[in-house]
Amino acid sequence: MAQLHDPLRPIVFAYTDVCDDLATATSGRFHRDPEGTVLAVSGAPVATLNAVVSPNLEPDPEVVEALAGEVSGTGLPWSIQVRGRAGKAITQVAAQYGLTAVTTTPLMIRRPGAGMLPVPAGSLRIRPVAGDELGPYARTMAEGFGVPLEVFAMFAEPALAKREHFTFYLAEADGVPVGTGMAAVTDNLVGVFNISVLPQHRRQGHGQAITAEIIRAGNDAGATTAYLYSSTMGEPVYASLGFRTEEILTAFTAPA
């Protein structure tokens, strides 16, 4: 009954749909419990991209534990993700699998009527890319996040470009790649992901411009609300575009 009074549930479900698409296009390993909890394994060496995710305000510890048992045997870094502050039962399940590092990430939402969006300035060009350009996309994203290419090699998989709800964006200044973004449109929602800017091109408004272009394109596709899970660095940028924090996501991972 509590789920009937959970206005953020459609947004969190949209996020799990993104997990579904990523896993399906890469490893093909995805499972959703009848109550919505998902197991999504992308195969990437990133804990948040191989996860058990509950979209429920009160996650079922037994369901989470059962799905955790499936992903723990893959040998990949992985995580358990739940909404809000995790309760004792979920914390114990995570600890049972050695997931004792806890991080929280704000869910930021841009509602209709949040104001005008800025347009790219100067020579910046933001364009969607096809499957044969996902290699440069993945390289730019990895450099923007400061990690080896193999961490995000899955984003060079041409099959991702064929997913109906995904659009990948490359930002270029004078023809040189400087940043990335990814949109995931589900019904009236557009999810904003993979916003990265190369270190030498930061503090020029590029991250804001990429995000604004994704929102604008999402609006054109019928999405009236935008959402994202923000890094600490990105929060002020997204707030300047009308996003507001409405919830947090708690992730359990193995200690570094």
Give the span between the Cα atoms of 185 and 198, in whole angstroms.
25
User: Quick one: pLDDT at residue 4?
Assistant: 58
Which residue numbers in the chain have pLDDT < 70? 1-4
Residues above pLDDT 70, as percent of the chain: 98
Supply the pLDDT for residue 28: 79
What pLDDT was estimated at residue 188?
96
The pLDDT, as a whole number, for residue 122 is 81
The residue ranges of every structural domain in the chain are: 2-106+249-253, 124-223
CB 179 within 8 A of CB 195: yes
Which stretches does DSSP call E strand in the chain?
A: 29-32, 38-41, 50-53, 79-83, 101-110, 124-129, 166-173, 176-186, 189-197, 225-229, 244-253
The whole-model pTM stands at 0.94
Residue 190 amino acid letter:
V
Can you tell me whether residue 95 is helix, strand or coil?
helix
Which 3 state secondary structure label does DSSP give 23?
A: helix
Q: What is the pLDDT of residue 120?
A: 79
Domain covering 124-223, topology: Aminopeptidase (3.40.630)
Looking at the DSSP assignment, which residues form a beta bridge with residue 248? 106
Separate counts of helices (H) and strands (E) for the chain = 7, 11
